[in-house]
Chains A and B, each alone.
Chain A
């Protein structure tokens, strides 16, 4: 048994030898979540290489880390996942002395943030979940979750494959809290989603935006940033925040404890919160970077966009998804039942 292994090890040494020279920052993030030119600018300034791997769900990222994937320096999980990771001692405490740009962060966001002192995470991008649709193909659109009951759109709609988002949408539709742990409310929400499921083509976290742009889907449950990114490809696409309220989320920058480039990672975080950089990032990926110093640098269009800057009345009805610890199992059970139902 040693023979194949040593052979492979030798081959690997030969193959991997070349990459050892430059400093490499390993970033694990959502797809299309940082402007490539900014990355290049950082690479040049620091004389390093930045390698970006992507994940399509917090759980997938977490499972991979737990299973032993230990080479990352910067990760951008959603806040509730940051909670989980922090509880597990997976995150490096942040040295604020290296992060002068933290002063630029929007204090209103820090109020609802899960780590307001930014001990182990720094807010990166805000997103709001809503409904995106093709204006010419969907008649009589109203900004409400009830659109998912429309049978004339059956087979051409999708909802997010994220159980908290989708069950949350049903909870909001029924007037409950998105973080409810009341079994009766959860069961009612389950029945609503099962009803909506009959009209859905898929539960989908990523393909829905190109599906919408290509006309494969007519109405999708979507993250605001994704839709803003894809509106350029199909002018018919519109985004609306449902009147019953929805989930607001924040993705944070964290450094895993096994990072081998912690100092470089801190500089990357500081770089991302430079007001000019933050403004460019916001404009490019169409999510809002909660960097107050960058707001004046944004275009008129961007500052007026309701998907980025949410009107106060609706914001009052929106909630941040929090990790529920042991009660997560209740949601997982409900989600199972939803997936299995006819």
Chain B
């Protein structure tokens, strides 16, 4: 080892910092700091004419204890949970199917799944408003079958919100499930069958555990963004199916009460961090997947 050159170890660390610093600093400044600010503003009083007042107070946080927020928070959790459940029920068979089909078909099927995602999010929601219009074909069909009264509206209720949330989240569930299903060794499933397991048994005891990482990723990718849903309940929901996101947006844009919006956003942040932390801890303890990939998720 000659002197005069920086030790390889130091060179290596310098390179690491050169590569890591740009993205690390960017995200630290534009994600961590703003999130911290959200928590800070939650402790400030609102200014009577909008904006943020001087001084500190816990009154804003204490006002969160009102039962109306609890109901909205519960509804948010509940609808997000149902959305996730609905997506998983549809994504697992679909992911399985695409992973098992001939290679030639796989590309096309994946493309078909992804292409709607490439159209504008707002426009897809708008399309459902047209489809579910009280004078539209869906309502006409349902009324003819006698399932709904003739003057009813299909939109502006929790069901419509759930339907559209599943619609927009489904690709995010299918892709991770597919990715995991594609990597699975199917001889294991066949072996289970050969050993006498029923198709359903093989499915639940070999396939599902085998794609567990994909299932976890899919669940996180659907559940967490759903918690913050705001546009969908705004466009197709009723006042009784408002979610936490609606209230936050209202506080910011309509009632100009930024500290209140912050407090609610802080609650939402905690609710979002909880599942992620849980997954991180479980992974650390079980060493599942920790060594398999260095990437996020």
A88 cross-chain contacts in B, Cβ below 8 A: 49
With beta carbons under 8 angstroms apart, the residue of A216, A326, A342 that contacts B133 is A216
Instruction: Say whether B254 contacts A57, CB under 8 Å.
Output: yes
| Closest CB in chain A relative to B267 CB, distance in Å | 15
Tell me whether A87 and B49 are in contact in the complex, defined as CB-CB below 8 angstroms, given that A4-B26, A215-B135 are known contacts. yes
State the CA gap A99–B108 with chains docked (Å).
Answer: 66
Instruction: Say whether B239 contacts A200, CB under 8 Å.
Output: yes
State the CA gap A53–B156 with chains docked (Å).
Answer: 29
State the CA gap A1–B28 with chains docked (Å).
Answer: 10
With A152-B151, A155-B156 already in contact, 13 other A-B pairs whose C-beta atoms are closer than 8 Å: A4-B26, A57-B253, A59-B50, A59-B256, A155-B152, A161-B254, A200-B238, A201-B153, A201-B155, A201-B156, A215-B134, A340-B67, A340-B68
Instruction: Say whether A1 contacts B253, CB under 8 Å.
Output: no
State the CA gap A215–B66 with chains docked (Å).
Answer: 38
A66 cross-chain contacts in B, Cβ below 8 A: 49-51, 256
With beta carbons under 8 angstroms apart, the residue of B22, B252, B253 that contacts A3 is B22
- Smallest CB gap from A65: residue in B: B50
Instruction: Say whether B49 contacts A84, CB under 8 Å.
Output: yes
State the CA gap A161–B242 with chains docked (Å).
Answer: 13
A156 cross-chain contacts in B, Cβ below 8 A: 134, 151, 153
Instruction: Say whether A4 contacts B22, CB under 8 Å.
Output: yes
The segment from A117-125, A170-178, A179-187, A331-339 that touches chain B is A331-339
Q: How many contacts between A and B, using CB within 8 angstroms?
A: 83
Instruction: Say whether B71 contacts A340, CB under 8 Å.
Output: yes
Instruction: Say whether B48 contacts A326, CB under 8 Å.
Output: yes
Main secondary structure of the interface of A (DSSP, over half): helix
Q: Does A145 contact B (CB under 8 A)?
A: no
Tell me the B residues contacting A by CB distance below 8 Å: 22, 25-26, 29, 48-51, 66-69, 71-72, 133-135, 151-153, 155-157, 237-240, 242, 247, 252-257
State the CA gap A197–B241 with chains docked (Å).
Answer: 12
State the CA gap A63–B134 with chains docked (Å).
Answer: 35
Instruction: Say whether B133 contacts A214, CB under 8 Å.
Output: yes
| Closest CB in chain B relative to A270 CB, distance in Å | 29
Q: Does A295 contact B (CB under 8 A)?
A: no
Among B25, B72, B252, B253, the one with the most A-chain Cβ atoms within 10 Å of its Cβ is B253
| Closest CB in chain A relative to B137 CB, distance in Å | 14
Tell me whether A60 and B254 are in contact in the complex, defined as CB-CB below 8 angstroms, given that A197-B239, A215-B135, A216-B153 are known contacts. yes
* Chain A residues numbered 249-304 whose CB sits less than 8 Å from any CB in chain B: none
B255 cross-chain contacts in A, Cβ below 8 A: 59, 332
27 contacts between A and B (CB under 8 A): A1-B25, A1-B26, A59-B253, A59-B254, A60-B254, A62-B256, A66-B49, A66-B51, A66-B256, A152-B151, A156-B153, A197-B240, A201-B153, A201-B156, A201-B238, A202-B238, A202-B239, A215-B135, A216-B134, A336-B66, A336-B68, A337-B68, A339-B68, A339-B239, A339-B242, A340-B72, A341-B68
